[in-house]
Amino acid sequence: MAHFRLQNVEDFYEIGEVLGSGHFGQVRELTEQSSGTLWAGKFLKLQRSASSRLGVERRSVEREVEILQALPHAHIMALHDVFDSRAEIVLVVELISGGELFDFIAEKENLMENEAIGFLKQILSGVAFMHSKQIAHFDLKPENIMLSDKSAELPEIKIIDFGLAQRFTPGEEYRSLCGTPQYIAPEVVNYEPLTVASDILSGMSPFQGDSDEETLRNIVDMKYEFEDQYFSATSDMAKDFIQKLLIKDQSERMTAEECLMHPWIKPLTHRQAASRSRSSINMKNFKKFNARRKWRMSYNMVWVCNRLCRLQLLCKQAQEDEELRSCESDQEDIAIKPASLIRRRLSSNS
C-alpha cells in the first residue's frame, strides 16, 4: 500500500496552471520546491460522507494508487507521491506534456499505417503489461492516451486515468456498468463477468449510434461494417486485425500479446511489410471524428459545470474559488438518460 503523506502538497510543491479536469477534480502542474522538477498533480475531492453526492470514495482513490504503483512501465503514467488531507487526495504523477495522441494525429496532413502502428505498438505494450499483472484499465479511450513530448521523432505514448481500473483476484468474478458508452465492450453492457479482454474491445468506436441506447445496442449486436467511404485505403491486414478484436466472445478475442504478434503489427513477409507501408489512414474522416469528439467533450463539460453550479447555488456552497475544483466532479449523479445506467465518463460522441 502506497504511503499517503498527511502533509500539505503546497508545502513541497508550487501549484501551477490547470492542465485538465475530470470527474472528481483538476489536474495541475506542480513544481517540486527542492529540485525544480515539474510534475502533474491530480487533485481528487473526497466524498464527505457515504451518502454525499459530490466527490470520490476514498477506497476508489486507494485502489487507483495501488494500481499505478503496481504498473511501472514506459507507456503508463508513473506515480511519484501521494498527499492526503481529509477532504482531498493529491496524486503527484509524471507530467505528460504532449497532449492527446488523437489531437497530434489530427494535425497531420497524412498518416501511413506504418506510423499508426508505431503508436499502436506502444499502447499495446502498456496494455499487455497491465494485463500480465491481472489489471484491466476499463476506460481506454482517446482522451486517456497521451504523448509525453510531441516534438520527439516518435513521440512516446502514456496511458493515463486508472480511475476505473481493477485488479482481478483469482476465483472472484468482477462485473461493472462503468465506462463511456461508445467505448465499452458488450460484456459491460450485458453486466456479465469481465476480464482483461474487455480492454481489448474498448477504445474504439465503430458502433456509434444516434443515441447512447442505439450505440449500446450496436455494441451488443456487434453491428459494424467497413464502409468503402472510410476503408478504401485500408490494408486487408488492418481489417483482419480489427475483425479479430471485434469479437463478442471474450475468450475468442485477441489478447494484447496476440495483437502484438499479428502480421499487421509484426509482418512476417516482405509482402506484408510492403502492404502496410503503402496503406494510409483516411485523414479527412479522422479529423472529422476528432473535431466531433472535442466538440462533444466541451459540450459535456459546460453542461456538467452548469448543472453543478446550479446544485451548488441551491446548497449555498459555491463561494470559494477552491470549490470550483469540484465543478467537474460526479457526473454520474446527474446523468438521467436511461443509458446512464452505464456510469458515464465525459465522452466524445454520445
Q: Which residues are annotated as a binding site for ATP?
A: 42
Residue 311 CB, nearest approach to ligand ATP (Å): 18
Helix axes 270-278, 113-132, angle to 10 degrees: 110
Figure out which of the listed residues 9, 13, 30, 42 binds ligand ATP, where binding follows CB under 6 A.
Answer: 42
Residue 216 CB, nearest approach to ligand ATP (Å): 19
Q: Which three cell numbers stand for residue 341?
A: 445506467
Residue 136 CB, nearest approach to ligand ATP (Å): 15
Measured between alpha carbons, how far is 195 from 30 in angstroms, rounded to an integer?
A: 36
Task: With CB under 6 A as the rule, give the number of residues binding ligand ATP.
Answer: 20
Residue 245 CB, nearest approach to ligand ATP (Å): 23
Figure out which of the listed residues 145, 345, 349, 350 binds ligand ATP, where binding follows CB under 6 A.
Answer: 345
Stretch touching ligand ATP by CB under 6 A, among 91-99, 102-110, 166-174, 276-284 = 91-99
Q: 179 with 332: CB under 8 angstroms?
A: no
Which residue sits closest to ligand ATP, CB atoms considered?
22
- Reduced to 3 states (helix: H, G, I; strand: E, B; else coil), residue 24 is coil
Residue 143 CB, nearest approach to ligand ATP (Å): 5
Q: 332 with 344: CB under 8 angstroms?
A: yes
What is the widest separation between alpha-carbon atoms in the chain? 68
Stretch touching ligand ATP by CB under 6 A, among 90-98, 109-117, 223-231, 309-317 = 90-98
Of 139, 161, 199, 330, which residue is the catalytic one? 139
Whether 139 sits among the annotated catalytic residues: the reply is: yes
20 binds ligand ATP (CB under 6 A): yes
Measured between alpha carbons, how far is 251 from 201 in angstroms, rounded to an integer?
A: 12
Q: Report CA-CA distances (Å) from 334 to 47, 48, 194, 343.
A: 16, 18, 26, 11
By beta-carbon proximity to ligand ATP, the closer residue of 28 and 253 is 28
Alpha helices in 96-195 (DSSP H): 101-106, 113-132, 186-189
Stretch touching ligand ATP by CB under 6 A, among 22-30, 118-126, 149-157, 216-224 = 22-30
For 252, how many CA atoms within 13 A lie in the half-sphere containing its CB? 6
Exposure string over 197-225, b if 16+ CB within 10 A, otherwise e? bbbbbbbbbbbbbeebeebbebbbeeebe
The set of residues, in sequence order, having a beta carbon less than 8 Å from that of 179 and lying 6+ positions away, is 138, 139, 164, 188, 202, 342, 343, 345
Q: 95 with 147: CB under 8 angstroms?
A: no
- Binders in 158-217 for ligand ATP, by CB under 6 A: 160-161, 163
Figure out which of the listed residues 76, 77, 185, 219 binds ligand ATP, where binding follows CB under 6 A.
Answer: 77
Report CA Rg, the chain: 20
Binding-site sequence positions: 42
By beta-carbon proximity to ligand ATP, the closer residue of 93 and 101 is 93
C-beta neighbour count of 89 within 10 angstroms: 24
Q: 78 with 94: CB under 8 angstroms?
A: yes
Stretch touching ligand ATP by CB under 6 A, among 14-22, 129-137, 207-215, 275-283 = 14-22
Residue 132 CB, nearest approach to ligand ATP (Å): 23
Residue 197 CB, nearest approach to ligand ATP (Å): 21
Site string for ligand ATP, 112-151 (x = CB under 6 A): -------------------------------x--------
What amino acid positions are annotated as catalytic residues? 139
- Contact residues for ligand ATP, defined by CB under 6 A: 19-24, 27, 40, 42, 77, 93-96, 143, 160-161, 163, 345-346
